[in-house]
Copies of this chain bind each other. A is one copy, B any other.
């Protein structure tokens, strides 16, 4: 048992429900993100020995997403030894930035690396989705897939799962403003109408097709013209104080487009340069100044890479133990 060996994986925050790409399109940030440290143990079962960076998360392996993901991987491989896990949260929970997805993706990647990489990336997406099922009751992939794969990722279908990384290196920067209010995903989802007017549907998929073409052809003007959501944003944005003003400020400061990140309350804006993204950040912050609502802001590139190993220690015994 090589229980001196460990790995540590970092998985980034993600923006899902990218405007017209509701439920199908997400992208990765470079930061913030979560880290999962993993080590084999001789005793069976999964122990979460530490959670850093946040208070109030359960360290019961059946309750914490990293335990749920790891347990399923061990079960499917019929592995009888155990795992010790540690979680370093580098991002807020319930912010709309794919917090549970980042933890799940980091856990799936770390455990896979520790076990000698028995799983493909596609399979890791499916294991990380088990964390999402635990966190939200729905095994969605639009946060875990970009967190694992980097860049923009399309979740074309679930039956069977069809995850399509766009695979185009982009020079894009994202500004995030997280207004620190509580907003339950379940509420944000429950206010959506279950029927879409045909005309709005057509405009929405015209924009999504434009967004895809803009990304794949690196036509930022087209991308900007396409970054709209006429269906869900009007319904959901009422739950986010000052949303309309923040979005207008971001666009006025030169953002290519802006929208609700995931189910909110975070608001994202995309820019073509880092300098622009920083101006956009200031413009967005200024709207909340004096509002009485605390905010947290991030500026990050949209990198090609998602999850990655950040530390590893391998002890090679002289003879097989």
- A148 sits at the interface (CB 8 A): no
Which residue among A23, A156, A207, A210 has the maximum number of chain B CB atoms within 10 Å of its CB? A156
A108 to B225: give the CA distance in the assembly, Å: 27
The contact of A195 among B22, B195, B208, B211, by CB within 8 Å, is B195
- A182 sits at the interface (CB 8 A): no
A195 to B156: give the CA distance in the assembly, Å: 22
- Against B, the Cβ 8 Å flags (1 = close, 0 = not) of A139-163 are 0000000000000001111000010
Number of copies: 2
Q: How far is the CB of A190 from chain B (nearest CB, A)?
A: 12
> Is B205 a contact of A194 with CB atoms below 8 Å?
no
Binds B, one of A58-66, A196-204, A236-244: A196-204
Q: How far is the CB of A274 from chain B (nearest CB, A)?
A: 26
With both beta carbons as reference points, the residue of chain B lying nearest to A20 in the complex is identified as: B205
Instruction: Give the interface residue-count category, chain A.
Output: 35 or more
Q: How far is the CB of A155 from chain B (nearest CB, A)?
A: 7
Contacts of A197 in B (CB 8 A): 194-196
Q: How far is the CB of A151 from chain B (nearest CB, A)?
A: 12
- Against B, the Cβ 8 Å flags (1 = close, 0 = not) of A169-192 are 000000000000000000000001
> Is A156 a contact of B212 with CB atoms below 8 Å?
no
A204 to B155: give the CA distance in the assembly, Å: 12
Contacts of A23 in B (CB 8 A): 202, 206
- Against B, the Cβ 8 Å flags (1 = close, 0 = not) of A268-306 are 000000000000000000000000000000000000000
Contacts of A196 in B (CB 8 A): 195-198, 201
- A15 sits at the interface (CB 8 A): no
- A213 sits at the interface (CB 8 A): yes
With both beta carbons as reference points, the residue of chain B lying nearest to A222 in the complex is identified as: B164
A192 to B197: give the CA distance in the assembly, Å: 12
Which residue among A21, A193, A198 has the maximum number of chain B CB atoms within 10 Å of its CB? A198
> Is A162 a contact of B198 with CB atoms below 8 Å?
no
With both beta carbons as reference points, the residue of chain B lying nearest to A168 in the complex is identified as: B217
A21 to B205: give the CA distance in the assembly, Å: 8
The contact of A154 among B22, B25, B154, B206, by CB within 8 Å, is B206
Q: How far is the CB of A57 from chain B (nearest CB, A)?
A: 30
The contact of A217 among B167, B193, B207, B225, by CB within 8 Å, is B167
> Is B209 a contact of A198 with CB atoms below 8 Å?
no
State the A residues within 8 Å of B (CB): 20-25, 154-157, 162, 164, 166-167, 192-198, 201-213, 216-217, 222, 225-226
Q: Can you list 18 A-B pairs with a CB-CB distance of less than 8 A? A: A22-B202, A22-B205, A24-B202, A154-B210, A156-B210, A156-B226, A157-B206, A157-B207, A162-B210, A164-B210, A164-B213, A195-B195, A195-B196, A196-B196, A196-B201, A208-B209, A209-B212, A212-B212
